[in-house]
Chain A
């Protein structure tokens, strides 16, 4: 998809030095003009960050539109599994009956409808602004279009996402594993993949966690704290 000149003008009108609301709203408007209703939801934290959720089928079109709008820097691509882990935090007593846990799937910023979401981040190195993109990946068709034609660097990230989450990428030339052996079964970063180290040995539990140091009031000055350590203890 080619972006018309008017879109780049919108970007140029936005303040360049201080990224702000106007800048990020401009990004949303420009993307909406390109992909229309395929921009499903947005989440804007003023002067901080922007989340965009696009329809599954428009995953590549969104990348093309943003690339044309100046997002030249590919940061990363990964996925999210919103299902709560059936193993909790791996602190169960293996001899006790399995604990009852919520299985409610609740998505984060910019919403969503599916258990898996694809996640990526792009940065504009001239306007100094970044966006996080999300798209739903339906369980019965765990695949989105590959970003390689737009950002060549997506190659390894898509391979990693494929081996860790089992999400396919249409048009990817070579979805071999990066980390795991070829014959490895299962997708380790899915929430229903157990962390075996925690399964075979009971975890002592969160009560043993060392508490955070908290300053006693505001009185901790540099003199009081620095006196504790002798100064011979340095380079010589």
Chain B
């Protein structure tokens, strides 16, 4: 047995104490929480990695790419009419709305315009896909906070809208109905009356949601003042659609740009909210759904007669040039930068999808929030995985 000197004993104790302190510091350094890729709150396969200090997030980062399908590359080996089949699947809840900006960009390059009747039907179907998309959001939002009823109501009432879309286009989720120069077919008989009835029902659904969800005390306390995004930050990150308007920016591409669509023929209000929190984003979406039913009603009343297809050659060759067209899709600004070399297919298509920008703010907005709020903030930002990954 070795005999230790005092000096050795003291240095041993000091080393042990230093180790112990280090261990204590390591223990309080926090933990890393992994959410997803398969998680009910991620609407698909988004993974969120959050570093926590107690209950508070110090760093969070979404990790996308589990559903990357490479549409930008695939468009380069498709002809122009074939591309709509692909881009239908970007935002799969509002499919028809995905087709419109691409078709408008191709028409811009070809210097043709769809006849008025086609423009009106396009706008009607566009707004119907907005109702189907955002209506489901409102229901889904409740689930994330433990309210089960709204989602059943949302699925029930979305079915009416999907039936309408199916009746007009033949496809419930992926209509692939928009054509360069117009539309595939005209509206079926009796569709207009039925749509009007459904719009009445949907307004009832919006009132129900207003009552059941937005007016709910628990919902309000979980969302008010949570995840506040100031207008300046929102614009820097390119947030669009209801997320931007909930931060008080009065910007709506339906109203603020000239497009060969029928939005300028109707009277509608662009809803904004000054708060920029989770509640504001949900509230703006609810108002927009109600407003969309009114837009559809007005359009149905004034729908012009005439052809639904402009004169277009049988084999479509798009002249050389570049065009950018974006529209106010259910999720926000969706646009296509189309480069054509005068060929049958595009040379390059840059797809600007709303959710990619909307979710890129997550690292900023999640910093400092508490763990349960991660879910409500992500739900209120509202993304579709296909729209992030493309």
Q: Which residues of A contact B (CB under 8 A)?
A: 49, 51, 72-76, 78, 80-81, 84-85, 89-91, 106, 108-109, 119, 121, 125, 128, 130, 132, 151-153, 155-157, 164, 177-180, 188-189, 193, 195, 198, 203, 206, 209-215, 218, 220-222, 225-231, 233-236
Chain A residues lying within 8 Å of B321, measured Cβ to Cβ, are: 108-109
What would be 10 A-B contacts, judged by CB atoms less than 8 Å apart?
Answer: A75-B326, A151-B238, A179-B64, A179-B389, A180-B65, A212-B181, A220-B309, A222-B305, A225-B308, A236-B163
Q: Quick one: CB contact mask for B304-316 with A, threshold 8 Å, 1 for yes? A: 0111110111111
Whether A226 pairs with B186 at a CB distance below 8 angstroms is: yes
- In the complex, are the beta carbons of B198 and A235 less than 8 A apart? yes
| B82, CB-defined interface residue at 8 Å | yes
| Closest Cβ neighbor of A218 among chain B residues | B307
- Given contacts A80-B339, A179-B65, whether A213 and B309 have CB atoms under 8 Å apart is yes
CB within 8 Å of A: which of B238-261?
238-239, 249, 251, 256-257
Contact B307 A220 (CB under 8 A): yes
Instruction: Kindly state the separation between the CA atoms of A96 and B50 in the bound complex, as whole angstroms.
Output: 53
The reply to whether B337 and A78 contact each other, CB–CB distance below 8 Å, is: yes
A1 to chain B, nearest CB (A): 18
Q: In the complex, what residues of A have CB within 8 A of residue B335's CB? A: 75-76
Q: B37 to nearest A CB, angstroms?
A: 13
Min distance, Cβ A90 to any Cβ of chain B, angstroms:
4
| Residue on B nearest A236 in the bound complex, by CB | B163
Identify the 7 closest CB pairs spanning chains A and B, nearest first: A231-B190, A225-B186, A153-B237, A229-B188, A235-B163, A179-B65, A179-B68
The smallest beta-carbon distance between A165 and chain B, in angstroms, is 11
* B68, closest chain A residue (CB): A179
CA distance A184 to B68 in the complex (A): 14
| Tally of B interface residues using CB under 8 Å | 76
Please tell me if the beta carbons of B70 and A220 are within 8 angstroms of each other in the complex: no
Contact B337 A121 (CB under 8 A): yes
Residue-wise interface mask of B (170-197) relative to A, using a CB-CB cutoff of 8 A (1 in contact, 0 not): 0000000001111011111111001000
Q: Is the CB of A230 within 8 A of B189?
A: yes
Contact (Cβ within 8 A) A215 B188: no
A79-B268 Cα distance, complex, nearest whole Å: 37
CA distance A188 to B77 in the complex (A): 14
Residue of B nearest to A227 (CB): B189
Q: Judge whether A233 and B188 touch: CB under 8 Å.
A: yes
| Contacting residue for B360 out of A90, A109, A155, A228, CB 8 A | A155
Which one of B2-10, B217-225, B228-236 is at the A interface? B228-236
**Using a CB–CB distance below 8 Å, which chain B residues touch chain A?**
64-65, 68, 70, 72-74, 76-77, 79, 81-82, 117, 159-160, 163-164, 167, 179-182, 184-191, 194, 198, 232-233, 235-239, 249, 251, 256-257, 305-309, 311-316, 321-324, 326, 333, 335, 337, 339, 341, 343-345, 348, 350, 352, 356-357, 360-361, 364, 389
Indicate if the CB atoms of A214 and B309 lie closer than 8 Å. yes
Which residue from A72, A132, A189, A220 sits with its C-beta under 8 Å from B308?
Answer: A220
A122's nearest neighbour on chain B, judged by CB, is B238
Please state if B312 and A156 are interface contacts (CB–CB under 8 Å): no
B249 touches A153 (CB 8 A): no
Q: Given B257, B306, B341, which contacts A221 in the complex, CB threshold below 8 Å?
A: B306
| CB nearest neighbor in A for B256 | A128
In the complex the two chains form, what is the Cα distance from A145 to B130 in whole Å?
A: 38
- Rounded to whole Å, the gap between the CB of A104 and the closest CB of chain B is 11
Instruction: Give CA–CA (A102, B64) in the complex, Å.
Output: 37
Contact partner of A212 (CB less than 8 A), chosen from B64, B251, B312, is: B312
User: Nearest Cβ distance between residue A136 and chain B, in whole angstroms?
Assistant: 16
Asked if B72 and A189 make an inter-chain contact with CB atoms under 8 angstroms apart, the answer reads yes
Contact B322 A189 (CB under 8 A): no
Q: Give 6 new A-B contacts, CB below 8 A, not counting A81-B348, A108-B339, A231-B191.
A: A72-B232, A153-B357, A203-B77, A220-B308, A221-B306, A225-B308
CA distance A227 to B307 in the complex (A): 15
CB < 8 Å: which of B77, B117, B163, B322 contacts A108? B322
**How far apart sit A153 and B357, CA to CA, in the bound complex (Å)?**
7
In the complex, are the beta carbons of B77 and A90 less than 8 A apart?
Answer: yes
Which partner residue on chain A sits nearest B188 by CB separation? A229
Is B186 within 8 A of A214, CB to CB? no
Residues A125 and B337 in contact, CB atoms below 8 Å apart = no
- Most B C-beta atoms less than 10 A away, residue of A85, A156, A226, A234: A234
With A81-B348, A109-B322 as contacts: A75 and B164 at CB distance below 8 Å:
no
For B350, the closest partner residue in chain A by CB is A78
Of all chain A residues, which has the CB nearest B117? A222
> Are A156 and B251 touching (Cβ within 8 A)?
no
Contacts of B356 in A (CB 8 A): 156
On chain B, the residues within 8 Å of A215 by CB distance are 182, 307-309, 311
